[in-house]
Amino acid sequence: MVYYYAILLLLILPMSYAYIGQVRKIDVRNLVLPICVGVLAFFMSCRAMSVGADTCQYTWGFEQIVHIPWSKLFTAKIYGAGGGMN
């Protein structure tokens, strides 16, 4: 959760640049957009290798949901890739 707070705090800088640019009638898009992309790209690159490792579980479940009729959607049993019921 600390990382999300850091992202929010670091995005205050380009937001303040955009606000000041709007007040002073200066086009700051060439400055604000790269800063925002840089902050988000930096935090994405710090992500651990284990994040997103359970994608196969979700994909397997979604593939099962596609074949379930709407009338049985909330009572159906979905099995994980390892065979365990979720």
The range of the structural domain enclosing residue 23 comes to 2-45
Please tell me which residue, 61 or 31, carries the higher pLDDT value.
31
Same domain, yes or no: 31 and 63: no
Question: Taking the model in full, what pTM does it have?
Answer: 0.50
- Indicate the SS3 state at residue 83: coil
Residue 62 is predicted with a pLDDT of 82
Same domain, yes or no: 6 and 27: yes
Average pLDDT, the chain: 82
Q: Are 76 and 84 in contact (CB under 8 A)?
A: no
The C-alpha atoms of residue 39 and residue 79 are separated, in whole angstroms, by: 38
Same domain, yes or no: 41 and 10: yes
Please tell me which residue, 49 or 13, carries the higher pLDDT value.
13
- Indicate the SS3 state at residue 85: strand
* pLDDT > 70 fraction of the chain, expressed in percent and rounded: 85
What confidence tens digit (pLDDT) does each residue in 38-77 have? Answer: 988 888 887 776 666 677 777 778 888 888 888 888 888 8
Number of domains in the chain: 2
